[in-house]
Structure 1
Amino acid sequence: MSSTISRLSTTPTLFQTHTPEASSTATLTATPTETATPTVTPTATATATAAPCTETTGTVENVSVPSETLGVPLPASIYLPACYTPSGNYPVLYLLHGQGMDDSYWISLGVTGIADLAINNGQTPFIMVFPFEERFLEDNSISKFPDAMVNDLIPWVDANYATCTEKVCRAIGGISRGGGWAIKLAMRHIDLFGTLGGHSYGLMFGDSNWVQKQLETHTIDDFPRIYLDRGDQDSLAPDIDYYFKVLMANGIRPEFHIYPGGHTRSYWRTHVQEYMDFYMDSWPEPIPQP
């Protein structure tokens, strides 16, 4: 901004000298007259305004997360919503694939398109993380994958992306073996996840016992929101139904569905919208920004 400037200049006005008769000549000195200089008015500087984001589709990044637990990096795909900003405060949905699948499986079922459409219609924007369990044939009793999720992946995501780290902001779900991992993680780390989904899940040995173990030190209200489902022809039906009964016997009321179908891709593709609706309902209102 330029300053206001006033200057005084001296412009001499000359007077005629008069020479009296028979006397020495006297010289009259010119008297300066003050002349005002116009005041300079400061000009306001326009402030640039960032153009509003017009993106309508999110992006997927492929990352390799350092993992001391596994001894090798943990691969993952990460969905960032349209208009993602590092200054945001985004909820995170972790989706785990089943045996014989990889981190692209959930994406192939259409979850990114579902998220894009919902966010464009006012849903709270959120991040999705799809980890790849490379050793999906390894016996679950010795697998380090769930520990790598808790010790390495989740802290890395929170450190590298603009995430909301409160329990209510974090959801986890999975298909088949991934559903079993999701249940194990949510039940053993009850303060970590606010929402849990098990879709045609493979219940892992001893996991049903964790319900009663957690109730020794927690209340029913501390448990996450839970969605369970299976097809009426699912080969894992006995284990799935058993876990549902354990929850009910301990006063926990999950949302439980039995639909037509088997343990198949077509079954999950048919119901993926319902899965996503349940997860997204975890964040019905905009998350407060930091």
Structure 2
Amino acid sequence: MNKKISIFLVHFIVLSFKLDAATVDTVSVYSESMHKSIKDVVIRPAGYNSSQKYPVLYLLHGYSGNYSDWIKKDSELPRLADEYGMLIVCPDGDFASWYFDSPEEKGSRYETYIAKELVTYIDKHYPTVNNRAGRAITGLSMGGHGALYLAFRHQDVFGAAGSMSGGVDLRPFPDSFGLDKVLGEYSRYPERWEQNSIVNMLHMIKSNSLALTFDCGADDFFCLYNNQLHEKLLERKIPHDYTSRPGGHSWEYWCNSIKYQAMFFSTFFNSTNKMKAG
């Protein structure tokens, strides 16, 4: 083969690969509730087309992290957007917001920001399946708590939710992870800690309203509390998937876990679309 043609083909193949890969956007979204702009990552799948409607997976970071954690730590994340044809949105949840509208810090309103302001922005600026059948939310550690918390409280917004190594019971950690800053001291406001722990919020789940999946590493300090959440869901006969795999509270664990959860959410998106089509 002619050498020039060979070089051209190589460049063409490389260019085609780049054009057919996920695109990572960093957007700045103004929060009316907090009076500031907040950065978020949006991953668009390969072959993104503005005339097509895409389901959205909201993926939350953990304590002390930010919006860029997932895309920096997990190089495979764009491939998951490609494989399942979904948008992946990684919001900023501040250093230690725990995704509450904090009764202590009036400038920390990350429940309102993500469940209302950010969802509205994404639906306005991207071609989304803009209803609960096209939205899922999950996250790691603090973000695992946040994802379940937001989904339980906003079942009209999210149709599926998950958690990876989530802090699902806050009460055992009164002096850790900045929780006292957003909820107040446990000794002064125990009711806040009780009411905002996921294990005490199961009464909020409407019958078959949420597709749920969560997992935790067997060596994780949160594993005991995730096991207890699983048992309480069983007691209430609330359908869910739960897995405890080998591993600790680490990015190695979470980068593996998100692969299974992305598959779970893709199945949810596909099943709800089929039901509508039928």
Question: Shorter chain as normaliser: what TM range?
Answer: 0.7 to 0.9
Query: Does the residue aligned with 2:201 lie in a helix, a strand or coil?
Result: helix
Of 273-282 and 140-149, deviating more is: 140-149
**In the alignment, which residue of structure 2 is the partner of 1:158?**
123
TM-score normalised per structure 2: 0.74
Q: Does 1:173 align with 2:173?
A: no
Unaligned runs of 5+ in 1: 1-52
Cα distance, 1:173 vs structure 2: 0.4
Residue 268 to residue 135, structure 1, CA distance change in 2 (3 Å): closer
Q: Which deviations, in whole Å up to 9, do the C-alpha atoms of 1:213-234 show, x marking residues without a partner? A: 34xxx3x222x11111111111
For the pair shown, which has the larger CA radius of gyration, 1 or 2?
Answer: 1
In the aligned structure 2, how far is the partner of 1:137 from the partner of 1:161?
26
1:130 to 87, 90, 95: 90
Tell me the percent identity: 28
Query: Does the residue aligned with 1:282 lie in a helix, a strand or coil?
Result: helix
In the aligned structure 2, how far is the partner of 1:126 from the partner of 1:261?
28
Q: Does 1:236 align with 2:258?
A: no
Of 81-90 and 55-64, deviating more is: 81-90
In the aligned structure 2, how far is the partner of 1:67 from the partner of 1:139?
14
Residue 200 to residue 254, structure 1, CA distance change in 2 (3 Å): same
Residue 242 to residue 285, structure 1, CA distance change in 2 (3 Å): closer
Amino acid corresponding to residue 196 of structure 1 in structure 2: A
1:210 to 184, 192, 201: 201
Amino acid corresponding to residue 59 of structure 2 in structure 1: L
Cα distance, 1:158 vs structure 2: 0.7
TM-score normalised per structure 1: 0.71
Residue 139 to residue 189, structure 1, CA distance change in 2 (3 Å): closer
Of 163-172 and 274-283, deviating more is: 274-283
Q: Which deviations, in whole Å up to 9, do the C-alpha atoms of 1:174-194 show, x marking residues without a partner? A: 000001000100101112211
In the aligned structure 1, how far is the partner of 2:120 from the partner of 2:50?
16
2:147 to 182, 206, 213: 182
Unaligned runs of 5+ in 2: 1-15, 171-192
Cα distance, 1:283 vs structure 2: 2.5
Q: Does 1:247 align with 2:233?
A: yes
How many residues end up aligned between the 2 structures?
A: 225
1:75 to 39, 49, 60: 39
Give runs of aligned pairs for residues 86-105 of structure 1, distance below 5 A. 86-105=50-69
Amino acid corresponding to residue 232 of structure 1 in structure 2: A
In the aligned structure 2, how far is the partner of 1:69 from the partner of 1:151?
10
Cα distance, 1:139 vs structure 2: 9.2
In the aligned structure 1, how far is the partner of 2:202 from the partner of 2:99?
22
The answer to whether the 8 Å contact 1:233/1:261 transfers is yes
Residue 232 to residue 282, structure 1, CA distance change in 2 (3 Å): same
Q: Is the helix fraction higher in 1 or 2?
A: 2
**In the alignment, which residue of structure 2 is the partner of 1:225?**
211
